[in-house]
Structure 1
Amino acid sequence: MTREFPREAVAVPQARSFVREVLDTWGVTERFDDMLTCVSELAANVVRHDETHGHSFHVALSGRDGLLRIEVLDASRRHPVVKSPSADSTTGRGLLLVNELADGWGVEPRDPRGKVVWTEFKIAARQGVTSPW
């Protein structure tokens, strides 16, 4: 499942709602909050740091063999960077959260331009529900 979002602040809660809807449809309840937090952080990074003004971004979900993958695709070639914020800093913790909550994450180039930032979660394979499993 994939959906396109505008590169605007309003897209962050929209992306979160999209993931919530898909997870509900697929019957995924475990690690639900972790997944929603991660997609919020990845979408917020696109909105804040994507230098390709005016472009949209996509959020895609897929699952197979007990592994759920969430991807955020944008037109920027700029890779996100894990930071070490100071104790009183109000930003810079998003990828630290993703790193702690997900079972894996990474960045891949996207043709003809841009990148995919992905995060994966190990969950029980589903049977008898509408899902990619």
Structure 2
Amino acid sequence: MTRIAHSYGVAPSPDAPLLGRRGSSLAGRLQDAFHFPALNTSVAEARRRVLARLQEWGIDEMACDDAQLVVSELFTNAVRHTDSDKVGCQLRVSGAALRIEVTDQGHAPTEPRMRCSGTDEESGRGLLLVGALSQAWGVRPDDSGRGRVVWADLPHRCAP
């Protein structure tokens, strides 16, 4: 059985036929894609969507918590630092890896990068957190060439 969840008109991945679940073990890859308006209130919606999907897929609690934090940071950056009307998110599970991709529509003046924030600053540590929670993360242009995709790979286990 192939299970692909999509919402808000996001097109499936080209490798969508390879995605699926057999019984209680993950087989192939699971995928979900969605987007929300580029509003501060959408960050919490994205976090809830990610948690619901990962729980449905049987992902362990620690990975669910880490994924919510990563999505929250990446979504917040896209909302605050780009001229996007909407922000997209894609989740893919392949083996023991969870890939999170957050896509914006418009370039910010600079590329996302980790920075050292002063102790009295309230923001600026999001990508440090993403780096600490993920096995790897990076930035690439989106398919249109106008926006960016910020991605992070997190480890996970299937919940017992």
The match for 1:65 among 95, 100, 104 is 95
Q: Distance in 2 between matches of 1:22 and 1:97?
A: 22
Compute the TM-score of the two structures, normalised by the length of structure 2.
0.73
- The residue number in structure 1 matching 2:55 is 24
Give 1:129's aligned residue: none
Residue 65 (structure 1) shift: 2.1
Higher RCO (C-alpha under 8 Å, 6+ residues apart): 1
- Decide which structure has greater strand share: 2
1:46 paired to 2:78: yes
Unaligned runs of 5+ in 2: 1-31
Q: Shift of residue 110 of structure 1?
A: 1.0
Q: Percent identity over the alignment?
A: 37
What do the CA deviations read for 1:73-115 (whole angstroms, capped 9, x no partner)?
1112332121110111111011011111111111111121211
> Which residue type is aligned with residue 77 of structure 1?
H
Match of residue 43 from structure 2: 12
The alpha-carbon deviation at position 16 of structure 1 amounts to: 0.1
* TM-score (norm: length of structure 1): 0.87
The higher radius of gyration belongs to: 2
- What do you get for the CA RMSD once the two structures are aligned? 1.5
Map of 1:109-128 to 2, 5 A cutoff?
109-112=141-144, 113-124=146-157, 126=158
Contact 1:77 1:109 in 2 (8 A): no
| Count of aligned pairs | 124
CA distances 1:1-46 after superposition (whole Å, capped 9, x unpaired): 1111000010000000010011011010242211111100000001
1:32-111 counterparts in 2 under 5 A? 32-52=64-84, 55-78=85-108, 79-111=111-143
